[in-house]
Structure 1
Amino acid sequence: MDKRLYYPATERNRQAILEVLQSFFPKTGTCLEIASGSGEHLTHFAQNLTGVTFQPSDLEADCLDSIQAWADHLGLSNVRPPRRLDTTQADWDMAKQDVILCINMIHISPWEATLGLMQKAGDLLNQGGFLYLYGPYRRFGAHTAPSNESFDAFLKEKDPRFGVRDLEEVEALAAENGLTRTQLVEMPANNFSVVFQRN
């Protein structure tokens, strides 16, 4: 039985994201992905950034199965077995990382998940390491597009703890944990790539 999941949005944005990653990723090193979902993003990156060893993670069992199935299907030797990881848990039991990726999680999780992510990024990233975030954000207290405003309302109806975050608030939290924004790239479909570096 094929356990691979397919997310149409991933197929649309993974190449655009990869191009941003290629601008700062080390030639060799380690990368932890938080909330890997289907595994389609991570396995695409692993195929193109072959000197990097990737550690996928997710909360959901079907996603963990899908990540492994994609890695097996593509025969990737630089993808470690996926791990169940909740960013709100205190101990991640994880080695230091050169890069941490988190794509489309911050707006579909409680704010506590972002707090945990930033705290652990500050602890786990090697000196000069990078945290990469992707998704929609409000800027200067306003949505960047009407579609994002509708999406925000949809998310909050689903769970009042969810919603499109203010970029400035996310940046302030990053700064509290020793992370400085080095890049902000406008992406397709009113999303942003946000790159932070550990001081």
Structure 2
Amino acid sequence: SFAEISEDVLLNSLLELQELSSIDINNFCLPNLPKPPNTFRGIHRKSSSLKRWLAISSDDLTKNGKYRSMTNLLRKYLGDYLIASYLAVIQESGHDDAYVKEIERVVLVETLDCFWRDHLVNMNRLSSAVNVRSFGHRNPLEEYKIDGCRFFISMLSATRRLTVESLTRYWSSPVEAEEIYVS
């Protein structure tokens, strides 16, 4: 469990990791931290999980630099641990796959619907605001496309975060879970 892990322990683990000369991605674990359970199935197993996490969590926050590889390894470790914990909680719940998939679908659709409505409102506001940029000798259509793309990408990122948060909260609170499923 991560409840007992302090910030100092995590930072020391990252420092130890930085000193290693090579890392086995298939059996990767941060030093002095719990090892994620091996719950991945399929032909690619864990070797593809780093690629998966890089695709899911790629952003411009970590430019190519000194800490990029460390950040990516930390994302992989925490992501693998999150998935393993989520699968364990689902398995403990005793629900069949159809029920679990339906709950996941409902949570995703509700989250996406909420953020999509906000995105449409933001795009309407943007269309009004982008005309002001023409006074700065900028092409309003290009500015609208660029900002619209940024809004869309941030909407997808927020949807991913809230969906994961909602699903983990759903399985941890059975009372709220029944309310979501009934509605």
Shorter-chain TM-score tier? under 0.3
TM-score (norm 1): 0.22
TM-score (norm 2): 0.23
**More strand per residue: 1 or 2?**
1
Greater Cα radius of gyration, structure 1 or 2: 2
**More helix per residue: 1 or 2?**
2
